[in-house]
Amino acid sequence: MFGLPGGAIMPFYQTLPEYPALKHILVRHEQNAGHAADGYARASGKVGVCVATSGPGATNLVTPLANAMMDSIPVIALTGQVPRAAIGRDAFQETDTTGITMPVTKHNYLAMHAADLPRIFKEAFHIARTGRPGPVLIDLPRDVLEEVAEFEYPDQVTTLRGYKPTLEGSGRQIKRAAKLIDDAQRPVILAGHGVLIANASAELRQLAEKAQVPVITTLLGISGFSSDHVLSMGMPGMHGQAHNNWAIDKADLVVGVGMRFDDRVTGKISTFAPRAKVIHIDIDPAEVGKNVRVTVPIVGDARRVLHALAKEVATTTRPDWLKEIDDLKDRHPGMPTSQPDKLLPQQVIRDLHEATAGRAIIVTGVGQHQMFAAQHYGFTEPNTWITSGGLGTMGFEVPAAMGAAVARPDRIVWSIAGDGGFQMTMSELATIVEQRLPIKFAILNNNSLGMVRQLQDLFYDGVRVATAYSGNPDFVKLAEAYGIWAIRVSDPAQVRDAIDQANAVDGPTLIDFDIVPEENVYPHLPAGGTAAEMIEGPVESAEKGAPAWLS
């Protein structure tokens, strides 16, 4: 568990020495405890746990809880609370933690009796890890933690009224979906995070190969389908490969698996996949049909549904459609570079992939560095891509990498960061050194909030407001102050050697990559735009200007 003690939670902390099997990692900020628990859960497939005290300790967990909620991550948050008699009296460090976190948790509890704690904990872990996973918070008044009670720990969870996730898909709907796949001429699969949560990568591959359907992976679905597979298409949407957006536009069937058809994938909803029928497979019935009109809805666990669906579909070939896909790739190569003779972020990511043979766990925050990593690091194994998706949290990359490294000591963990996001949570360098975690940091340093600057250049007449950093620290000296091996790279010829040196160090390392500050992420599908408005490269962006929808 990752946490930081305070007055209200102290009785909990004072019992930890009695339970040596519980490992507590002291963080430097409660937000980072939450993100570390999130990264631990994603890398391990288990429930992550974070701990904070009342008041500001609890409120500092709101962002990581929202992040986990948006991305369906099983996290348990334990928060201290003022004594029961003081609740509602504006006591020192009191906040209505359950009220504040209700919108950003799957469920939460205010424990009012010590005898209820065994049941609450059993239920909380059950709720967090089953169905569509998500964060659960348990608020613990100080006097409840000090109370003595007799109890029997429950062997299993008592049936929770109103909570019974559907695991098996409807056989009738699966047969309907199989018929649509068999009849389709231009089908595509959109595979999301649910594929990874359900451990359904093998079943997805089986369906795709048998029905010969190209697979497009969402940002959070990356690593759910090997990027070196012949049917792998890459990522769609705002910064996905251009040929994917055009393939979706031309498709006559879209099979969405464990994804919610969010705005970064669809662009303008009314023009998304205009020629396609839609099959939507998701364990959360609230997501099915929420954003796009669905022809065949299937509520159930992705692994079970895909296994059943693969049995039902006919073995087929689609040479014409696959040839058309290849033609789209030729016509829309995408992801261009504007200054090929300078140190570009794309090269850093590609060299990193080569140096690690694509087997590292890659952790990012949100921004240009995230998109460059998603586009250029080829992922071949599940759960090796950890990023903040739905909430888009800057700073996620540092503490989440810490959680991933604790969960997977057998793997090299690379945290790819922007200089902006890194500074939000870099205090955890101290924790990383203290815990001897061999995390490798790659800072793509452009001295700016790169993605915001890109939006200003493309859609706000190049008027740059509050995006340039003129006071960045010397990241190399900063790392060395913590005892971390560090180096700065500005020469493209030195990138691979620096990465190899970092990988060879038995401990945490940091490379400050002084990249071209003006490099943009392409393609760029404007928010709420259509495939026809997609900006595929720097020359086109200069000519195209702001799309009509913006004005």
Which of the two residues, 7 and 541, has the higher pLDDT score? 7
For residues 6 and 132, state if they share a domain. Answer: yes
Range of the domain at 505: 345-521
- For residues 131 and 191, membership in a common domain is answered with no
Is pLDDT larger for residue 538 or for residue 348?
348
Same domain, 252 and 188: yes
pLDDT value at position 159? 80
Q: Does position 545 have pLDDT exceeding 60, yes or no?
A: no
CATH number at residue 514: 3.40.50.970
Q: What angle do CA 127, 218, 453 make, to 5 degrees?
A: 110
- Looking at residue 100, its pLDDT comes to 98
pLDDT digits (tens, 9 = 90+) for 228-246: 999 999 999 999 999 999 9
Assign 539 a pLDDT band (cuts: 50, 70, 90): low
pLDDT value at residue 338? 61
For residues 285 and 355, state if they share a domain.
Answer: no
Q: Is 212 in the same domain as 118?
A: no
> What is the predicted pLDDT for the residue at 155?
85
Mean pLDDT of 369-383: 96
Q: So what's the pLDDT on residue 340? A: 66
Q: Taking 70 as the threshold, does the pLDDT of residue 404 lie above it?
A: yes
Q: Which of these three, 299, 331, 363, is where a domain ends? A: 331
365 & 505 share domain: yes
pTM for this structure?
0.95
> Are 362 and 301 members of one domain?
no
Taking CA atoms, 328 is separated from 23, 109, 242, 278, 423, in Å, by 51, 52, 9, 22, 40
User: In whole angstroms, what is the distance from residue 360 CA to residue 358 CA?
Assistant: 6
Is residue 218 scored above 50 in pLDDT? yes
pLDDT reported for residue 544: 46
Specify if 548 maps to a domain. Answer: no
* Average pLDDT of the residues of the chain: 94
What pLDDT sits at residue 336? Answer: 63
Tally the domains of the chain.
Answer: 3
Q: Kindly report, residue by residue over 382-397, the tens digit of the pLDDT.
A: 999 999 999 999 999 9
Tens-place pLDDT, residues 124-180: 999 999 999 999 999 999 999 999 999 888 888 778 988 999 999 999 999 999 999
CATH number at residue 220: 3.40.50.1220
User: Checking DSSP bridges between strand 25-26 and strand 48-52, what pairing results, if any?
Assistant: unpaired
Confidence of residue 339 (pLDDT cuts 50, 70, 90): low
Phi-psi domain of 191 (left: phi exceeds 0; alpha: psi -120 through 50; beta: other): beta
- Region 330-336: mean pLDDT is 78
**DSSP string of 496-525?**
HHHHHHHHHSSS-EEEEEE--TT---SSB-
